[in-house]
Amino acid sequence: MEFRFTGEQEMTCKLAQDFAVEEVLPLAREVDEKNYCPVEILKKMAGSGFNGVFVPQEYGGTGLGYVERAIVLEEMARCSAGIAMTLMTHHLGVASILQFGSEAQKQKYLPGLSSGNLIGGLAVTEPGGGSDVTGHQTTATREDGSWVLDGRKCFITNSHIADVVVITARTGQDEKGRPSLSAFIVEKGTPGFAPGREENKTGMHGSVTGELVLKDCRISEDALLGKEGHGQKIALAIISEVGRAGMSAISLGLLRAAIEESVRFARERIIYGKPLANIQAIQFAVAETVIEYEAAKLLTYRAVTLKDGGQRCDSEMAQAKYFATEAAVRAAKRTIDLMGGYGLLAEYPAERLLRDAMTTLPSAGTSNIMKIVVAANTLR
Positions touching other proteins (CB under 8 A) are: 7-8, 10-12, 14-15, 18-19, 22, 25-26, 47-50, 53, 57, 62-64, 68, 72, 267-268, 270
Rounded to whole angstroms, the Cα distance separating 129 from 132 reads: 5
Rounded to whole angstroms, the Cα distance separating 301 from 113 reads: 25
Instruction: Decide whether 19 or 109 has the Cβ nearer to other proteins.
Output: 19
Q: How far is the CB of 368 from other proteins (least distance, A)?
A: 36
Instruction: Decide whether 5 or 36 has the Cβ nearer to other proteins.
Output: 5
Whether residue 137 contacts residue 126, with contact meaning beta carbons closer than 8 Å, is answered with yes
Q: How far is the CB of 7 from other proteins (least distance, A)?
A: 6
Instruction: Decide whether 48 or 137 has the Cβ nearer to other proteins.
Output: 48
Rounded to whole angstroms, the Cα distance separating 57 from 35 reads: 35
Reference 31, options 264, 356, 332, 260; nearest CA is 356
Instruction: Decide whether 8 or 222 has the Cβ nearer to other proteins.
Output: 8
Q: How far is the CB of 13 from other proteins (least distance, A)?
A: 11
Rounded to whole angstroms, the Cα distance separating 72 from 287 reads: 25
Q: How far is the CB of 208 from other proteins (least distance, A)?
A: 25
Instruction: Decide whether 10 or 174 has the Cβ nearer to other proteins.
Output: 10
Q: How far is the CB of 249 from other proteins (least distance, A)?
A: 15
Q: How far is CA 220 from CA 141, 184, 292, in A?
A: 11, 10, 48
For Cα atoms 329, 40, 115, give the angle at the middle one, nearest 5 degrees: 100
Pairing of strands 120-123, 164-173: parallel
Reference 296, options 266, 329, 263, 265; nearest CA is 329
Instruction: Decide whether 20 or 254 has the Cβ nearer to other proteins.
Output: 20
Q: How far is CA 147 from CA 144, 187, 359, in A?
A: 8, 13, 34
Q: How far is CA 260 from CA 24, 78, 254, 349, in A?
A: 17, 10, 10, 10
Instruction: Decide whether 24 or 223 has the Cβ nearer to other proteins.
Output: 24
Q: How far is the CB of 23 from other proteins (least distance, A)?
A: 9
For Cα atoms 150, 151, 155, give the angle at the middle one, nearest 5 degrees: 145
Q: How far is the CB of 276 from other proteins (least distance, A)?
A: 12
Instruction: Decide whether 270 or 375 has the Cβ nearer to other proteins.
Output: 270
Q: How far is the CB of 121 from other proteins (least distance, A)?
A: 22
Rounded to whole angstroms, the Cα distance separating 356 from 202 reads: 8
Rounded to whole angstroms, the Cα distance separating 299 from 296 reads: 5
